[in-house]
Structure 1
Amino acid sequence: MTLVGVGVGCGLTAAGAAAGGADLLACYSTAIYRAKGLPSALAFLPYDDPNELVRQVLPEVVAAARDLPVFAGVGAHDPRRQPDRLVGQMGELGATGVTNEPFVGIYDGDLRAQLEAAGLGYQKELDLARAAVKQGAMVLGWAWTPQEAAAMAATGASHVGLMLGITAGGRMGSEAALSDEQSHDLLAQMNAAVRRENPSAVTLIHGGPLHSVESVAAALAASEADGYMGGSSLERVPVIDAMATTVQEFKNINLKEEQ
Structure 2
Amino acid sequence: MAFERKQIVDRLKAQIKTKGHVIGVATGAGLSAKYAAKGGADLLLALNSGRFRQMGLGSIAGMLPFANCNQLVMEFGSREIIPAIKNIPVFFGLCATDPTINLENYIGDIHEKGFSGINNYPSVGMIDGQFREAIEEDGLSYSKEVEAIQIANEKNIFSIAFVFDEIQAKDMLAAGADVICAHLGITKGGILGAKKVLSLDAAAKVAKSIFDVCDKIRPGVIKMIYGGPINSPLDLKYMYDNTNVMGYLGGSAFERIPSEVAITKITREFKIAGIQDDTLAKILEGMTEHHDYIAFVKEYISQNYMNKISFSDLAIEAHLSRTYLSALFKKEVGCTFSEYITRYRINKAIEIITNKKIPLSEVAFACGYSDYAHFSKAFKKETNYSPREYLNDTKGHKHHI
Q: Give the superposition deviation at 1:117.
A: 2.0
Note the residue ranges of structure 1 that are not aligned, 5 or more in a row.
none
Partners in 2 of 1:67 and 1:38 — Cα distance?
30
Partners in 2 of 1:89 and 1:244 — Cα distance?
40
* Structure-to-structure mapping, 1:112-191, within 5 angstroms: 112-191=132-211
Q: Give the superposition deviation at 1:121.
A: 0.7
Structure 2 counterpart of 1:68, one-letter code: I
Q: Which of the numbers 14, 23, 31 marks the counterpart of 2:33?
A: 14
* Structure-to-structure mapping, 1:1-259, within 5 angstroms: 1=19, 2-59=21-78, 60-254=80-274
- Label 1:111 to 1:245 Cα distance change in 2 as closer, same or farther (>3 A): same
Partners in 1 of 2:132 and 2:160 — Cα distance?
22
Q: Give the superposition deviation at 1:103.
A: 0.2
1:32-55: CA deviations, max 9, x gaps?
110221221112111211000001
1:74-121: CA deviations, max 9, x gaps?
111022312112211211221000000010011101111122222111
Note the residue ranges of structure 2 that are not aligned, 5 or more in a row.
1-18, 277-401
Structure with the largest fraction of strand: 1
Structure 1 counterpart of 2:44, one-letter code: L
Partners in 1 of 2:84 and 2:275 — Cα distance?
38
What corresponds to 2:296 in structure 1? none
Partners in 2 of 1:240 and 1:91 — Cα distance?
34
- Matched length: 256
Larger mean CA deviation between 100-109 and 30-39 belongs to 30-39
1:187-228: CA deviations, max 9, x gaps?
001111122222222111111111111111111221211011
3-state DSSP class of the match of 2:139? coil
Provide the aligned C-alpha RMSD in A. Answer: 1.6
Partners in 1 of 2:32 and 2:73 — Cα distance?
15
Structure 2 counterpart of 1:16, one-letter code: Y
Partners in 2 of 1:248 and 1:219 — Cα distance?
34
- Label 1:179 to 1:240 Cα distance change in 2 as closer, same or farther (>3 A): closer
Structure 2 counterpart of 1:35, one-letter code: Q
Q: Give the superposition deviation at 1:255.
A: 8.9
> Bigger radius of gyration, 1 or 2?
2
Structure 1 counterpart of 2:146, one-letter code: L
Structure 2 counterpart of 1:223, one-letter code: T
Query: Of the two structures, which has the highest relative contact order with CA contacts closer than 8 Å and spacing of 6 or more?
Result: 1
Partners in 2 of 1:52 and 1:43 — Cα distance?
13
Larger mean CA deviation between 246-255 and 35-44 belongs to 246-255
Q: Is the 8 A contact 1:98 1:138 kept in 2?
A: yes
Q: Is the 8 A contact 1:25 1:65 kept in 2?
A: no
Q: Give the superposition deviation at 1:11.
A: 0.2
Partners in 2 of 1:210 and 1:157 — Cα distance?
23
3-state DSSP class of the match of 1:129? helix
Structure 2 counterpart of 1:171, one-letter code: I
Larger mean CA deviation between 175-184 and 144-153 belongs to 175-184
Q: Give the superposition deviation at 1:254.
A: 2.1
- Label 1:220 to 1:116 Cα distance change in 2 as closer, same or farther (>3 A): farther
Structure 1 counterpart of 2:197, one-letter code: A
Structure 1 counterpart of 2:217, one-letter code: E
Structure 2 counterpart of 1:202, one-letter code: I
3-state DSSP class of the match of 1:160? strand
**Percent identity at matched positions?**
32
